[in-house]
Amino acid sequence: MTTVVGAVIVALLLWLALWTVVARDAFLAVAGFVVYGLLLSLVWVRLAGIDVALTEAAIGGGLTGALLLGAVGRLRGTEAATAAERPGPGLRALAALLALAVTAALMLAVLSLPDPAPTLAPLVVPNLQSTGVGNPITGVLLAFRALDTLLEAIVLVIGLIGVWSLAPDHAWGGRPGLRYQADPDGILAYLARVLPPIGIVIGLYLFWAGADHPGGKFQSATILAAMWMLVQMAGLSDTPRSDSGWLRLGIVVGPLAFVAVGVFGIPAAGAFLAYPEGWAKPLILLIEVALLPTLVLVLALLMNGPPSRHGDAR
């Protein structure tokens, strides 16, 4: 029975991917992409990758959809010109052929892996107790490969700076986007008052559970950012001013704390980002707590876009 369902889901995913690529309208493509992301989280659950399923559901489902819809909105004016420039069928056939060739090469590579595929997982599990966390993924992300996580956090902040740099000169330091309007007695406003408290509790629960069970700061930050965006979308709160001191402090506190912990490791344990004996769990907790506001702010601000109106002039 489960093989039948697996086959159905795979066929569905392939069909959905094709449909998204050939959709005439950008809105259709985004809808297809969001459905694709949500279905993919089912696949991850089936493959026993619960942490990945959580991230896929959160990012692939909600946030990416909202981000792409914002992009589609901004591209409305240019859609006619783009449609006029569509490449001819010959070029499109060539592109399809290339994509198929890459897919076939990837499939061959995966299928020709030796049967116990080379992996470091058996080394992680026995060494996990020294990190003090029970979830091996958290252990890898924040202890064994903490450097990767640090660089990813820094890349996120740089990405945000890149988005902000698109602001016109007069709007620098102002608020991104337009203020959403919604009937203050309407359903959207009601939903935006009821859901965020629940979402915040769930987000913080996931953050705390990430130490020993699937979860962690990234999924938690995604939920918190989505709740904040919900409040903005209902017009209950304006987008934040990008020259706010607290905002900027919140954005950099994560990477700064991470680097500070890393530098602390040099005299204390002999290498950058090394954790002294017995200090692993508190240091990991410190890094996670510092990274949470960074991730929430960066994700929400990325969805808001570049500042476009000056703070004072509304």
Partner 1 sequence: MISVLDLFSIAAIAGGCFFYLAGTVGLLRFPDAYTRLHALTKADNLGLALVVIGLLPQMSGLLAAAKLVLVWLLVLLSSAAVAQLIARSARRQGGGQ
Partner 2 sequence: MRLRCRRGRAMAEFLLSAAAFVVLMVAAGLVRVARGPGRAERMMAAQLLGTGAIGALLLFAVATGEAAVLDVALTLALLSAFASIAFVKFALRQDQAPDDAEDAA
Residues that bind partner 2 (CB under 8 A): 1-2, 4-5, 8-9, 12, 16, 19, 27-28, 31-32, 34-35, 38-39, 41-42, 45-46, 48, 50, 53-54, 57-58, 61-63, 65-66, 69-70, 72-73, 76, 178-181, 188, 191, 195, 198-199, 202, 206, 209, 213-215, 219, 222-223, 226-227, 229-230, 233, 314
Nearest C-alpha neighbor of 25 from the set 68, 56, 60, 66 = 68
Least Å distance, CB 196 to partner 1, is: 12
**Nearer to partner 1 by C-beta: 27 or 272?**
27
Q: DSSP 3-state assignment of 308?
A: strand
Structure token pair of residue 112: 């020709």
Structure token pair of residue 85: 């420039």
Which of partner 2, partner 1, none does residue 300 bind (CB under 5 to 8 Å by kind)? Answer: none
Inter-residue contact 173 to 311 (CB < 8 Å): yes
Is 246 near partner 1 (CB under 8 A)? no
**Nearer to partner 1 by C-beta: 202 or 259?**
202
Structure token pair of residue 21: 């690529």
Radius of gyration of the chain, Cα coordinates, nearest whole angstrom: 22
Is 198 near partner 1 (CB under 8 A)? yes
Task: Tell which one of 71, 129, 190, 260 touches partner 1 (CB under 8 A).
Answer: 190
Task: Tell which one of 99, 194, 260, 271 touches partner 1 (CB under 8 A).
Answer: 194
Task: Tell which one of 188, 247, 252, 269 touches partner 1 (CB under 8 A).
Answer: 188
Structure token pair of residue 72: 């589609």
Is 209 near partner 1 (CB under 8 A)? no
Residues contacting partner 1: total by CB under 8 A: 7
Inter-residue contact 280 to 131 (CB < 8 Å): yes
**Nearer to partner 1 by C-beta: 45 or 157?**
45
Task: Tell which one of 94, 187, 263, 266 touches partner 1 (CB under 8 A).
Answer: 187
Structure token pair of residue 252: 């950099």
Nearest C-alpha neighbor of 174 from the set 284, 304, 2 = 304
Task: Tell which one of 43, 45, 191, 285 touches partner 1 (CB under 8 A).
Answer: 191
Nearest C-alpha neighbor of 306 from the set 154, 172, 153 = 172
Least Å distance, CB 297 to partner 2, is: 17
Residues in the chain: 314
Alpha-carbon span 9 to 5, nearest angstrom: 6
Residue 62 to residues 59, 200, 238, Cα–Cα distance (Å) = 6, 16, 20
**Nearer to partner 2 by C-beta: 5 or 125?**
5
**Nearer to partner 2 by C-beta: 65 or 240?**
65
Is 105 near partner 1 (CB under 8 A)? no
Angle between helices 146-164 and 245-269 (to 10 degrees): 160
Alpha-carbon span 252 to 11, nearest angstrom: 43
**Nearer to partner 2 by C-beta: 180 or 272?**
180
Residues that bind partner 1 (CB under 8 A): 187-188, 190-191, 194-195, 198
